[in-house]
Copies of this chain bind each other. A is one copy, B any other.
């Protein structure tokens, strides 16, 4: 249990902001790239010993206040009946994506069997990090997962799923609903295995018009998030003018992308805890600029209910010294 991370997620005043980085375990670390020479991505994800080692690499290096389990937002697709693999230069590719309403799954395989490697990973982490470090679990959100299930691969503007929605609104709703059920169970399973905080990454749901987000996605986000026995964080990009829609899901923490101004977010969200939101490209500007811009984010957020993070995942070419400067800036604060 991370005192600092969990307390900030609950909206408490903290002596300094807790800090972690989305995608902190990954390609920007030379020790990760070295390990990945031996194991491919999905092999690393599904082997608890390796996944634990990767999860702890940034902890060994930076000592952030949270370790985010090394995994993939798409793992939950497998119990839903979609096999996928990673294609170099493309990203995830689903073997048999949904073409017709008849392809929408009606059920999913038991999470504790199909995703047992996630439980084992969390069990391992629980024994390896101290009380003061939070273990962060996560899952993809229903829109984001459905986009891969329908398009079969990364797409610009998620057109295949949006077309599917326009042509087959009922099947679209059914698909989101079964995915949401699986995600809810998966996040609870993670908490049972020691996740102190969980983050729902429905990164792409902001591609929907506001009325569609409210009609189709928000009720599912609410269903998922209110069922979890741990603090929850919700990340959806491109929601700048409509952060209140995210708060209305009941998420304990609203994770802000880098295109939102922190003081505007505070205005829109009142005392709802927030996470974020330094532009990850600032990490290419050198440690001095990183420190300056990070302090600006921390000061705009204030001393209550703020988890310092980037507004998006760490880019793979990010210099180590910039990440160090980012974490150290949070740790140097004394409110």
Interface residues of A (CB under 8 A from B): 157, 159, 162-163, 165-167, 169, 206-212, 238-243, 258-261, 264, 268, 279, 281-285, 289, 311-312, 315, 317
- What's the nearest-Cβ distance from chain B to residue A267, in Å? 10
CB distance from A173 to the nearest CB of B (A): 14
Chain B residues with CB below 8 A from A317, complex form = 163
Question: Which of B166, B206, B261 lies in contact with A285, CB distance below 8 A?
Answer: B166
Contact A209 B159 (CB under 8 A): no
Assess whether A163 is in contact with B209, with CB atoms less than 8 Å apart.
no
B281 touches A159 (CB 8 A): yes
Interchain CB contact (< 8 A) of A242 among B159, B210, B241: B241
Decide yes or no: A260 and B241 within 8 Å by CB, A159-B315, A315-B159, A317-B163 being known contacts: yes
Given A159-B315, A240-B241, A279-B162, CB of A209 within 8 Å of CB of B167: no
Contacts of A279 in B (CB 8 A): 162, 209, 212
A264 touches B285 (CB 8 A): no
Residues of B near A162 (CB, < 8 A) are 279, 281, 284
Residues of the B chain whose Cβ atoms lie less than 8 Å from the Cβ of A210: 259-261, 264
State whether B166 touches A209 (Cβ < 8 A): no
- Nearest chain-B residue to A296 (Cβ)? B211
Distance to closest chain B CB from A197 (angstroms)? 26
Closest B residue, CB atoms, query A213: B259
A290 nearest in chain B by CB position: B166
- Distance in Å: Cβ of A202 to nearest Cβ of chain B: 14
List 28 interface pairs A-B (beta carbons < 8 Å), by A numbering. Answer: A157-B312, A159-B315, A162-B279, A162-B284, A163-B281, A163-B284, A163-B315, A165-B281, A166-B281, A166-B285, A166-B289, A167-B284, A208-B259, A209-B258, A209-B259, A209-B261, A209-B279, A210-B260, A210-B261, A210-B264, A211-B261, A238-B238, A238-B240, A240-B240, A240-B241, A241-B242, A241-B243, A241-B260
What is the CA–CA distance of A283 and B289 in the complex, to the nearest angstrom? 46
The 7 closest A-B pairs by CB, nearest first: A241-B241, A240-B241, A162-B281, A166-B284, A166-B285, A210-B261, A163-B284
Question: What residues on B are CB-neighbors of A260 within 8 Å?
Answer: 210, 241
CA distance A284 to B159 in the complex (A): 11
Residue of B nearest to A268 (CB): B241
A241: chain B residues within 8 A (beta carbon): 240-243, 260, 264, 268
Asked if residues B207 and A259 are in contact (CB atoms below 8 Å), the reply is: yes
| Distance, CA A68 to CA B206, complexed state (A) | 29
Among B259, B289, B312, which residue has its beta carbon within 8 angstroms of that of A238?
B259
Question: Cβ of A159: which chain B residues have Cβ within 8 Å of it?
Answer: 281, 315
